[in-house]
Every structure is written in structure tokens, then in C-alpha cells.
Structure 1
Amino acid sequence: MEYLDFELPIKELEEQLDKCQIIGKESDVDVSETCKQIEKKLTETRKDIYKNLTPWQRVQLSRHPNRPYTLDYINAICGDTFLELHGDRNVKDDKAMIGGLGKIGDQSFMFIGQQKGFNTKTRQYRNFGMANPEGYRKALRLMKSAEKFNVPVVCFIDTPGAYPGIEAEERGQGEAIARNILEMTRLKVPIIVVIIGEGASGGALGIGVGDKVLMLENTWYSVISPESCSSILWRSWEYKEQAAEALKLTATDMKKLKLIDEIVREPAGGAHANRDKNFTIVKNKIISHFEDLKKLSPKELVETRMDKYASMGVFNG
């Protein structure tokens, strides 16, 4: 288990608890009361730390190396029913964007999302979760297939942005993202979007238009990362904490600005601290929102979605 700087008090208490339990096992000394006290302090410390997180600390948590990625969610939610589909039928199969059919109970869903790697080799293989144009075109192909067979769509967002390389621009990165946004606004099946990590720039928006947009509480959603914002405004990355504060990128900020529909609470200590519980929470949210959305006709779905996005940013003075 890896720990961030502000999580070090938790690490110390967990180490104390482990030592206490080992002493209890290896000797005749009764340490049960001491262990209970440490456990109580650990619970209180964890609550205090995660209750008062700054925007920058939430950005750090969204990038935690132990945090679950898109395939972790899909495999936990669907089990053996997930069938990954590949390729955009034009250029190639983008490994940073994954998608396919899976079931929750008896209901089929088309799952789409950015996938990051967990070590150097897989990070390079997945291009650090930064999709090329063919990734967004693959996502659109899968959405259109879902529409054809009346299958709802679930999108998991976790990307530092769309890939900014020359070859991506040559193949029409901007057009691919813009096309997805247009097509998603008029897709005739329910779309549920869940931000599970980083939601940066057009890379997130390319699969981010939905009837319901949910954000896990320790994630962020913004036009630019705090580091990039800092480097543009202050010519240095040193002011990333101030940038994170100014960008209003947390789930709480997004809900206040009415840019998302719901904040999904994570288990104590974050999504990585109790993966199974976190997967169950997200699964239940998807089912709950789908039950509401399936009552709407295709025409009502599109009209409601259009109205939702058309009203964003409107100011009545």
C-alpha cells in the first residue's frame, strides 16, 4: 500500500496496529485493549483527514497509484460477462480507450472508458490513459452499436486529457472529440457517465455527455490540470495548489455549478482503501439511475439531455 504525504499519520497508526497485533499473537500479553484504542484513533484520524481535504489533495487522491481503473470497475461489476470490443474500423485499436458489452444482472450495458496502466510497461501500452482520435472513434462506433440494439451506455472517465501528439492532430483529434459530443447529445439510449479519477479537458468530454453524470468524491473535472494552469499563469508548476483552488474542479464545486448530477461518496480512506465496497456503491448507482432513465422514451431522453446541456452557463441577471 502506498501513501500520499497527507496520509502519513494513517500509515503510522496502521503500522502501530500491526505491531500490536503481532505482539498479541507471539506472546501471552493481552493487548486487545491497546489494539482497540489504536483502532479508534485510526478511525478518527482517517475521518479528520478525509473530511478536510483541499482541492489539490483530492487531485492527488484521484491519481493514487492504488486507485481502481476502468477495467477494475468493469470486471468487478460484470464479472465474466464482459466482452471487450476492439478497433475503430478505420485506423487501429486504441489501447487507451476500452469498451465492450457486459451485464449487470440480466441487463446488458455498453461500457466505455479510458484505461491507465499500473506499472511502467502497461502505462506505455495504455498511453497513460490519453486516447488518440481512433480511441474516440472506437467509442462512438460502440455507442452507435448500443443505440442500434437498444443497449444503455455507461462511460467511465479517467484521463489526464486526449493525446496531444502531432500524429493525433493530423488524424483529427479535435474533430473526433467534437463529433462524439454532437452524437452523444442525440443518442437514443440512456447514457450514464461516472468520473472515477481524472476528468481533464476535451479528453473527458469526448465520452462525457450523459443523461446522468456522477462524480466520485475524490475526483476532479476541469478544462485543464492544475499543473498546466499553473505553468501558463505563473510560468511554474509551483503554484498548482492555488490553481486547483481557483479552477473549482472538485465534485462539490461541480455540483454547486450544476455541471454534474450527483456526488458518489467513497469508502473511508478513498476508493483504493476499500475497493470491493467502492465497486458495490458504483454498481448500485448505475442500476438506480438506469431504472429511472428506462422509463423515458427515446424522444424524451434526447430532449431532456439537450435541455440539460443547453441550460448550462445561462445567467439570469
Structure 2
Amino acid sequence: MATHYLDFEKPIADLEAKIEELDLLSATAGSFDAEIDGLRKKAAQLRKKTYGALDPWMKTQVARHPQRPHFIDFVAGLFTNFTELKGDRQFGDDQAILGGLARFRGRPVVIMGQEKGHDTASRLTHNFGMARPEGYRKAVRLMDLAEQYGLPVLSFVDTAGAYPGLGAEERGQAEAIARSTERGLTLGVPSIATVTGEGGSGGAIAIAAASRVLIFEHSIYSVISPEGAAGILWRDAARARDAAMAMKITAPDLVALKIVDRIVPEPVGGAHSDAAAAIASLGDVLVEELDAMKGLSADEIRRARAARFYAIGATEPR
């Protein structure tokens, strides 16, 4: 797959194009190893400098990068014996949210997450990760199963938001999101949600009401998209950058606000630059988080989760 460069990555793209050109010339015009090595070092330094100074709008673009690892990539890289469970037992199966039973480094777990797709066909199949009510009802079914058998729940959040179509509204979209959020908050088993790309609105929190909420270094999590906020505030979606800069949607801001608990580091250049490393990094963090909750009773898990969410927005008494 050809590398997709973001607008602010153009200088990096130019350097890597020169490296590729010299590689091709080497086959016919002699060795350019020294020049190529120098350009590679320069590109690596530029990438490190660029990704060390991303503003919120740049991070929004990285979070939406089409080559960023998606749910199916995390399943392939972290889990074994995955058995997908389909359908909500009421209407049908929604492919924007996938989930089922799996083993994570030897331990049985329930996993679920939004899948955006990697190409045109798969994006249409998964509706760009925007779930309909049956997707959230499937999530409730999976959480019920996890509680029944005492299995931890690992969820992977990556959606622009719930699907706003007429059919979804007719089938109770808001109620389905509320039920899924409620079920996450009342689970008596450990649950960990990770925002792996874009965490958008109620469509995200419906599977992110967890004991611990993690976020990748360059992911975003917000009540509305920057474009949506700009449309409401200024009636101009083109001012999305201004909205992103003001909304506190990046990982450091979210940790400071106690909306998320921990940042998962990404490779230099973003998770899309080395998906395997990003996936392995998350796996190590998930092990630590699950181990920290080992031995807790169902009541202790519920109390800790409630305290976590009550702490959001709390202020010190005067």
C-alpha cells in the first residue's frame, strides 16, 4: 500500500521521494548508499521534530489517518482464538461494531470495537465505523456475556460518531447508545477502553464507559467533531482548526481533565508509520492494567468505576 502523507508531512514526503529515486538510480548508475543514508537520517530527524510539535488540528488528522491500525488489526496482532459473535438478537448484525470471544496472552476476554475499513469496499461494509442501534445492542449483548462468565472486556474506540440516518433514529439510536453506556457503567468485571483513533461523541462513549480509559498518543476524544463544533459556533465548518485548538481533545488535555486515565505511546511518525509497534505497545499496557484489577470483587469494580466517572469535572470545595 502506497504511503499516504498528510499536508504537514510534505517535507518528509519530498525527502522520501528523493530516497526512492536514488534507490532506483542505484540499479543503473552506481551506488548512492552514502547519499541515501544521509537522506534517511535527515527524514528521521524531520519526522521526530514534526511529530514532537503537533497541534490539536494536526493530531486530528493523524487520528483519522486511513492507514492507522483499526480493530481488525488489533485483533490480528493481540489476540488468538477470536470467535466473532454477530447480531443483536432483535434486528440484525451491524458491521460497524465487531466483537466476540478471544484469548489475550493466554487469558480469556471479550473484545469489541469500531471498524472503519481500509478500502472503499470495506468502508462501505463497516459504514465507516458509524454504528446503528443494532451495533450498540450487540455491544450490550457482549457485555452481558462477559459478566455472565466473569470475563474482562476490552473495547477499541475509533468512530466519528454514531450513524445519524433516518433508519437508525427510527430504531432507537439514542436509546441504544444510552443502554450500552449504562451497561458499561454497571459491569461487575474489569473493563478497559482504548481510543485508538477518533473518539467521537456518544457513539464512542457507548463502548468506552469502562473501568480504565486509555488513549493513543495522537488520538482524539471529543463530544463533537471539530467540523461540527465550528459549524455550530461560527456557522463555518472551514474553521475546524480553530475549534480543534479550543476544544481540549488531545491526549494530554484529556488526562489533565481526568477524562482518560493513561496515554499509550506511539512510534515516531504515528501509529500508521509502524502499526506492529503501536499494537505491541498497547498490548503491554493492557497487561499492566488488567493485572492491576486482578482480584477485585464485582462491587469493588463497580465502586471504582463510579468514582472514576464522578471525578470528571469535579472541583475542589471552596
- TM-score if structure 2 supplies the norm length? 0.96
Kindly tell me: are residues 92 and 245 of structure 1, through their superposed partners in 2, closer, same or farther at Cα, counting changes over 3 Å? Answer: same
Match in the other structure for 2:66? 65
Q: Could you tell me how far apart the structure 2 residues matched to 1:168 and 1:130 are?
A: 11
1:255-270 → structure 2 map (5 Å cutoff): 255-270=255-270
Query: Which letter maps to 1:271?
Result: A
Query: Which letter maps to 1:89?
Result: R
How far off its partner does 1:295 sit? 2.9
- Is 1:292 aligned to 2:296, yes or no? no
- Return 200-209 or 167-176, whichever deviates more: 167-176
Structure 2 residues not aligned, in runs of 5+: none
How far off its partner does 1:68 sit? 1.3
Q: Could you tell me how far apart the structure 2 residues matched to 1:65 and 1:187 are?
A: 33
Q: Could you tell me how far apart the structure 2 residues matched to 1:150 and 1:290 are?
A: 13
Q: Could you tell me how far apart the structure 2 residues matched to 1:22 and 1:107 are?
A: 48
Q: Could you tell me how far apart the structure 2 residues matched to 1:86 and 1:153 are?
A: 17
Count of residues in correspondence between the two structures:
315
Q: 1:20 aligns with which of 19, 22, 43?
A: 22
How far off its partner does 1:119 sit? 2.2
How far off its partner does 1:27 sit? 4.1
- Is 1:49 aligned to 2:50, yes or no? yes
Match in the other structure for 2:36? 35
Q: Could you tell me how far apart the structure 2 residues matched to 1:307 and 1:263 are?
A: 20
- Is 1:249 aligned to 2:232, yes or no? no
Q: Could you tell me how far apart the structure 2 residues matched to 1:226 and 1:50 are?
A: 20
Match in the other structure for 2:106? 106
Match in the other structure for 2:5? 3
User: Counterpart of 2:138 in 1: which secondary structure?
Assistant: helix
1:154-233 → structure 2 map (5 Å cutoff): 154-233=154-233
Q: Could you tell me how far apart the structure 1 residues matched to 2:74 and 2:67 are?
A: 13
1:125-164 → structure 2 map (5 Å cutoff): 125-164=125-164
Q: Percent identity among equivalent residues?
A: 41
How far off its partner does 1:227 sit? 0.5
Q: Could you tell me how far apart the structure 2 residues matched to 1:311 and 1:103 are?
A: 32
How far off its partner does 1:243 sit? 0.3
How far off its partner does 1:25 sit? 4.4
Q: Could you tell me how far apart the structure 2 residues matched to 1:311 and 1:3 are?
A: 39
CA deviations 1:13-54 (Å, max 9, x no partner) are: 11222233334444444x332222212211110011101111
Query: Which letter maps to 1:77?
Result: L
Q: Could you tell me how far apart the structure 2 residues matched to 1:136 and 1:49 are?
A: 38
Structure 1 residues not aligned, in runs of 5+: none
CA contact (8 A) 2:78 2:105 kept: no
Q: Could you tell me how far apart the structure 1 residues matched to 2:280 and 2:120 are?
A: 29
